Structure 1
Amino acid sequence: MTNKDIFEIALQQSAYDCNCETENFLAEHNIISISKANPKAGKYIPLPLECDLVSYGNNIVAQTSERTKAVVTEYINKYLAYRCFETPNIYILNELLAPFNLKVCFMAEYFLPDVTKLKELDCGYELRILQKQDFADLYLEQWSNCLTFDDRERDVLAVGAYDDDKLIGLAGCSADCEMMYQIGVDVLPEYRRKGVASALTSKLSIEILKLGKVPFYCAAWSNIKSVRNAIKSGFYPSWVELTARATRFVNKIIK
């Protein structure tokens, strides 16, 4: 699988998620679509959404509801695309969404593997490939970033790092859609800053590609440790996303 193949698969998945065409993400002007459920969309996305902005760098593709279409269009056409994903402009978006009882909730940066840089990395510890039956008993708090607790069936493969027989780090992937598997990684505190996370991430990415699937990695752009891990593991930033949710949902999260 080439970088071009990977990028095209990601664009197609974003099109499923956003109810639009793949070429919309490469346009020089912003695109608005009306959000609707799609069986091919990512399983973690609660479609339809009332305000969701995606940018691969050129423009913004915004999926909205009929009632929020006008205000979201006003917002994304008022500022440069990248400015729509940062403060203080986000405060303006919140004001526009307030009459609909919506608030900005999630913001993230997504990474794709660069196959010219992706390679197995050595961390000095044994790495073991784990199948479903091997990590069935690992749904514990210390591995909450790499396993899908609310839908275990999505978890398809993992790689563990071991100090003798002690599991010290784990990377898992969830089949969030047909062609793309999302990677999450956890390392025990006393074993961090030793290259364990990047060794796990790169190894799991290679195994995912062997399955004919595309690994992808998500991080908050303020999570410097996670972003560094993505880059060290052979990934590069590919798209960003901002999602608004119901005010009651947002308030429940922050309490």
Structure 2
Amino acid sequence: MIDTLQDVLETVIEMLCAELSCSESQLTDGKVHISVRSPKTHENPAHRHFDPHPGKIGIASLGRGGIVCVDEEHLDWAEEIFGPEPKTTRDELFMPERMGKMADLVRPEGLLLYGPFPRFAVSHSSLTHIESPAEYSVRVVGQEGADAIGQRAKWHNAIYKVPTETARPTMIAAIAERESEIAGVCGASADSPYMWQLGIDVAPEHRGRGIAPALTSAVAGAVLDEGKMPYYGTSASNIPSMRTALAAGFKPMWVEVLSRPENEQF
């Protein structure tokens, strides 16, 4: 159960250690470390179900130092660009100069870097219950109900893939409606056995009315009741999305950069 923020922190640390092939002490000692990805990292159940690919890169910080995780063939590059402290500190880790150099080096291999992404998470103790705004209703549905939601292109952040095309199916969704018209959807995908990620879409004509926080709060509560940790990611420039997370009681937990093959949808 994710009852407290300490439970959240422990879950996040376990995931990052699995994905970045590092130790808890390396994540939390305030220094920047470079690690070599274990070839068996995806076998760890704490690893999120993101597709593996050659040359995978992961960079993350809990706010206390950071980890740069690369495959063996990229180790020399990582050492040159980041290196241990004092060459790179936490506050320099995600600077455009370093990210740009790394992106330029891996682009000829068909890889793109995405991020940095601020990540938020919530526990039972920090969740804020938010009522749906006047004239709107919010209902929560399970996987079958989420799969039945139409116009997937319109709700591509909330329910972005059909179940047969992803290892991270949408397990729970909240639907905001007004007069039987869907105004917004928030979905939770099963990113791992322990962490479900929230995504949200509100139709443009219904934005600015408090629908997003109400949907986020409803889905997060349902995910917590399933014994999973709800987490929420956004781009570094999407301030409205961050406000939505904070309004529902989510707390900033970590920041990460991820690589993807250039022909793969993020």
The answer, yes or no, to whether TM exceeds 0.5 is yes
Q: Kindly indicate whether residue 231 of structure 2 is the aligned counterpart of residue 216 of structure 1.
A: yes
1:176 and 1:101, CA in 2 relative to 1: closer, same or farther beyond 3 A?
Answer: closer
Structure 2 distance, partners of 1:153, 1:93, is 28
- The aligned counterpart of 2:253 is 238
1:152 and 1:49, CA in 2 relative to 1: closer, same or farther beyond 3 A?
Answer: closer
- The aligned counterpart of 1:133 is 144
Aligned residues: 251
> Secondary structure of the equivalent of 1:85?
coil
Instruction: Find the partner of 1:53 among 54, 59, 73.
Output: 59
Query: Do the aligned residues in 2 keep the contact of 1:49 with 1:63 (CA within 8 Å)?
Result: no
Structure 2 distance, partners of 1:147, 1:183, is 9
CA deviations over 1:207-236 (Å, ceiling 9, x no partner): 111111100001011112211111112112
Q: Report how far residue 26 of structure 1 moved.
A: 0.6
Partner AA of 2:155 in structure 1:
W
Structure 2 distance, partners of 1:211, 1:12, is 19
Instruction: Describe how 1:83-232 pairs up with structure 2 within 5 A.
Output: 83-97=92-106, 102-113=111-122, 115-122=124-131, 123-124=133-134, 125-139=136-150, 140-149=152-161, 150-151=165-166, 154-232=169-247
- The aligned counterpart of 2:7 is 5
Structure 1 distance, partners of 2:167, 2:205, is 27
- The aligned counterpart of 1:69 is 75
1:119 and 1:170, CA in 2 relative to 1: closer, same or farther beyond 3 A?
Answer: same
Query: Do the aligned residues in 1 keep the contact of 2:59 with 2:256 (CA within 8 Å)?
Result: yes
Q: TM-score normalised to the size of structure 2?
A: 0.85
Structure 1 window deviating more from structure 2 (98-107 vs 210-219): it is 98-107
Partner AA of 1:126 in structure 2:
S
Q: Report how far residue 117 of structure 1 moved.
A: 3.8
Q: Report how far residue 120 of structure 1 moved.
A: 1.4
Partner AA of 1:233 in structure 2:
A
Q: Kindly indicate whether residue 53 of structure 2 is the aligned counterpart of residue 38 of structure 1.
A: no
Structure 2 distance, partners of 1:228, 1:14, is 25
CA deviations over 1:167-210 (Å, ceiling 9, x no partner): 21111101100101000111111111000000000111111111
- The aligned counterpart of 1:14 is 16
1:49 and 1:148, CA in 2 relative to 1: closer, same or farther beyond 3 A?
Answer: farther
Structure 2 distance, partners of 1:19, 1:154, is 26
Q: TM-score normalised to the size of structure 1?
A: 0.88
1:7 and 1:168, CA in 2 relative to 1: closer, same or farther beyond 3 A?
Answer: same
Task: Give unpaired runs (5+ residues) of structure 2.
Answer: none
Q: Report how far residue 245 of structure 1 moved.
A: 4.5
1:162 and 1:103, CA in 2 relative to 1: closer, same or farther beyond 3 A?
Answer: closer
Structure 2 distance, partners of 1:145, 1:237, is 20
Q: Report how far residue 21 of structure 1 moved.
A: 2.4
Query: Do the aligned residues in 1 keep the contact of 2:115 with 2:236 (CA within 8 Å)?
Result: no
> Secondary structure of the equivalent of 2:63?
coil
Structure 2 distance, partners of 1:23, 1:49, is 25
Structure 2 distance, partners of 1:198, 1:209, is 16
Structure 1 distance, partners of 2:253, 2:51, is 18
Structure 1 window deviating more from structure 2 (176-185 vs 37-46): it is 37-46
